[in-house]
Structure 1
Amino acid sequence: MTIDEKYFPGFTQKWIETEPGIVINTLIGGSGNEAVLLVHGHPETHLMWRFLTPELAKHYTVVITDLRGYGDSSKPEGLPDHSNYSKRALADDQVKVMKALGFERFHVAGHDRGARVLHRMIIDHPEKIKSCTLMDIIATYDMYKETNEEFATKYWHWFFYIQGKGFPETALSADPERFINYNLNLKIGPAARANFPPDVLAEYTRCFSDIRTVHGICEDYRASATIDMQLDEPDRKKKIETPLLLLWGQNGVVGKLWNVMEKWEPLASHIEGTGIPQCGHFVPEEQPELVLKRMLLFLAKHSA
């Protein structure tokens, strides 16, 4: 039994080409005319949604993917301006996946890097998105502009990954297993360590052991600090009209350093949300029952 068969029984794997040379690893399950796309964060893969998909699939068609550069999706060499790893490019991949599956409008939910991709998606493709759930982020632009000592210490990788091409890739590839365990343990709340069993950590390590994955991840962060900032700045003047559900860990860095609702209010017209108690950064894995409760109510409110 593969790890996908274990954690996503009944889901079908598809390989969807979004542009020449780019194939997105996709799993689809559940049923119904309403679809929900779930987009993972760093340093993980679609596997992070293992606690949410059984219940969501009872009510919706559920699509989970690996982002470009992550998991088992394509990992192209980054362009000099990092544009092929911009959040615009990654969001376009996901929109094309949903179109290939027959969904012109759908719900989206993302954590960490995936939530940043969705932030760009609802700016570039608002007509396609029924609702959007963003987990444990404020806007990338704000996080870079308001960096302080605690953020830079806990989110050290935001500044290390963007260093010269090849340097962080070499360093991060030296001991993938140690890195995965260190990175997750740094941000997991103490009550949730049992939710990351050895087979899950081994799968995250398998993917991170591929130097092409490490390069793709570094390019994702390089894009965030460069081309994404350039794209985001003018769009901050336009209000997002897509309904947003904001969820964050009360014990996580984002929840401690920022008032999440206040940071999104100038950017979006329709927001609701809450901090998840006894929770660090990995919200859908640490407190899946609380996340599901809020998501199901929110999705039902914005479903046809």
Structure 2
Amino acid sequence: MFEGFARQRIRIDETTLHVLIGGKGPPLLLLHGFPQTHVIWHKVAPELAKDFTLVIPDLPGYGASQGPVPDTAHRNFAKRNTAGIMARLMTRLGHERFFLAGHDRGGRVGFRLSLDHPERVLAFAALDIVPTLAVWEGMGWRQALATYHWQFLAVPAPVPEHMIGLDPDFYIDHLIERWAGDATRLDREAREAYRVAFRDPKVIAVACADYRAGASTDVADDAASRELGQRIGCPVLALWGRYLDEGVSVLEAWREWADDVREVVLPCGHFLAEEQPEATASALQGFFSAQT
């Protein structure tokens, strides 16, 4: 995986990031989601690297990155804090303005990065999510059952950490089988990388901290931004799999936050970059190339 990419460890404040860098052209920051690592991009990176300089980190505390210590105020893993870390990473690498794509939790970091640092983001692609407030405010009982992990992972420590830690391989496989349209499309090597990552209790704790922030601090930050009328100024692509059901229209949810929004729907489940890599790469290339 990622042949020809350089691997670096870059210290940003209390975080040491594991980062892959490769390709040529304008910079494109790729952010993964839960329950995965940078490995989600392994099928699309070779194609995107033809046109873009790719920066592919493990998010703080995920994979091979070391993150700050989870805190009781749920600020260290709030999307605002993580977005700031990503902005400083791109500055460290010499990229003052860049394209941005985020899947799942990485998409939520991208949302906050686009709001808080509008001068930095040229265009933003959100993969298989709607904004956090839209999820919570649109959650009926059917969505609550379908997305039970939002509530489960946000339960105070140490309950979810203990339960996941008893058999992390089972839990990762459970999530992949639950969310994928066709789980066989995910490579065995990739799935094993995700299992290995979550065998580390520190990674489990970070994932829970991430979701606790998503049920508290992130909600407060997003609500404040909405009250202030803060909007995403750059073009936005909502790229999602047809099985996504958050109880709201994906396109309309993003139009609540941005004026220039377009969508692409793929015939797959949650893991677009692995289930439909050619179509995902094509959609991202077309979207970002149009902004150059």
Q: Is the TM-score greater than 0.5?
A: yes
Residue 292 (structure 2) pairs with residue 300 (structure 1): no
Residue 276 (structure 2) pairs with residue 283 (structure 1): no
Secondary structure in 1 aligned to 2:124? strand
State the match for 1:15 in structure 2: 9
C-alpha displacement of 1:234: 2.0
State the match for 1:120 in structure 2: 112
Partner amino acid, structure 2, of 1:291: T
Q: Conserved in 2, the CA contact under 8 Å of 1:24 and 1:93?
A: no
State the match for 1:67 in structure 2: 59
1:235-254 map, 5 Å:
235-236=225-226, 237-254=229-246
**C-alpha distance in 2, partners of 1:65/1:150?**
34
1:102-135 deviations in Å (ceiling 9; x for gaps): 1000000010000000000001001001110001
Residue 251 (structure 2) pairs with residue 261 (structure 1): yes
Residue 199 of structure 1: which of 165, 189, 192 is its match?
189
Partner amino acid, structure 2, of 1:227: T
Q: Conserved in 1, the CA contact under 8 Å of 2:17 and 2:60?
A: yes
C-alpha displacement of 1:258: 2.4
Q: Conserved in 1, the CA contact under 8 Å of 2:134 and 2:248?
A: no
1:129-165 deviations in Å (ceiling 9; x for gaps): 1110001111101101211122211211100111111
Residue 223 of structure 2: which of 233, 244, 247 is its match?
233
**C-alpha distance in 2, partners of 1:276/1:198?**
22
Residue 211 (structure 2) pairs with residue 211 (structure 1): no
Partner amino acid, structure 2, of 1:285: E
Partner amino acid, structure 2, of 1:290: A
Partner amino acid, structure 1, of 2:195: T
Q: Conserved in 1, the CA contact under 8 Å of 2:180 and 2:269?
A: yes
1:180-221 deviations in Å (ceiling 9; x for gaps): 11110001003xx23222221111011000000000000000
Partner amino acid, structure 1, of 2:113: M
1:33-65 deviations in Å (ceiling 9; x for gaps): x11000001000000001110011111101101
CA RMSD, 1 decimal: 1.1
Unaligned runs of 5+ in 2: none
- Overall identity of the aligned pairs, in %: 35
State the match for 2:144 in structure 1: 152
State the match for 1:51 in structure 2: 43
Count of residue pairs the alignment pairs up? 290
- For normalisation by structure 2, the TM-score amounts to 0.97
Residue 87 of structure 1: which of 68, 79, 95 is its match?
79
Secondary structure in 1 aligned to 2:126? strand
Residue 28 of structure 1: which of 21, 32, 35 is its match?
21
C-alpha displacement of 1:72: 0.8
1:241-274 deviations in Å (ceiling 9; x for gaps): 11101111112334xx321111111210111112
C-alpha displacement of 1:235: 1.1
Unaligned runs of 5+ in 1: 1-6
State the match for 1:274 in structure 2: 264
Partner amino acid, structure 2, of 1:14: Q
Residue 205 (structure 2) pairs with residue 175 (structure 1): no
State the match for 1:4 in structure 2: none
Q: Conserved in 2, the CA contact under 8 Å of 1:253 and 1:281?
A: no
